Amino acid sequence: MVELIPRQERKPLFGQWFFFIASFLLIGGVGIGFFILDQLENNAKDILVSLQETLLRDTRPQEEALATELSAYKEKIDRLSAAASEREDFLRYFTFLEDSIIDGVYLTRFEADRDSAILAFEGVANSFLDLERQRLLWKSQEQIKQVDIMNMLLGGDGTISFQAELAL
């Protein structure tokens, strides 16, 4: 048979196979990439959850320890401020005694009552004359209402130990 229309020879279709293989590889790569990214996302979520649990679990003891330490410091500060306010209350007594004690008289023990304004103390005087001058000085001051000197004892070296109360 004679062909009227000559057939052209079929050339191998390199372009079709190339694009078929390339698209197949591209689809496979996208699938593998999606799978890998999904696994990475799941691992990151697991790590995030474990870190959050660790953070919540581990900070509670630290927070409790810090809260305990903070309350201890607060208590110390409260005690210190109370002591400072008491010191301010007694500061006027100390300045009064500094100004009203003569040479030759030394105080060895001191007690003060804030509420009743009574000063009680023990002391030592070099002589009876120094003790009498001290008593007269206290009596001459306007802010002292009453002076009581009691329990005078003569020491072996000539000093006189005594107890006194001042009512302000």
The pLDDT profile of the chain, 168 residues, written as one tens digit per residue, is 566 776 777 666 667 778 888 999 999 999 999 999 999 999 999 999 998 888 777 667 778 888 999 999 999 999 888 877 766 566 777 777 788 888 889 988 888 776 677 888 899 999 989 999 998 998 988 888 888 888 898 888 889 999 998 887
Residue 3 has a pLDDT of 65
- CA dist 66 and 54 (Å) reads 18
Residue with tokens 């109370």: 82
Residue 11 has a pLDDT of 67
For the chain, the domains span: 17-91, 101-167
Residue 89 has a pLDDT of 61
Residue 95 has a pLDDT of 77
Among 101, 103, 106, 112, which Cα is nearest to 141's? 101
Other CB atoms within 10 Å distance of the CB of residue 125? 23
Residue 75 has a pLDDT of 94
Residue 2 has a pLDDT of 61
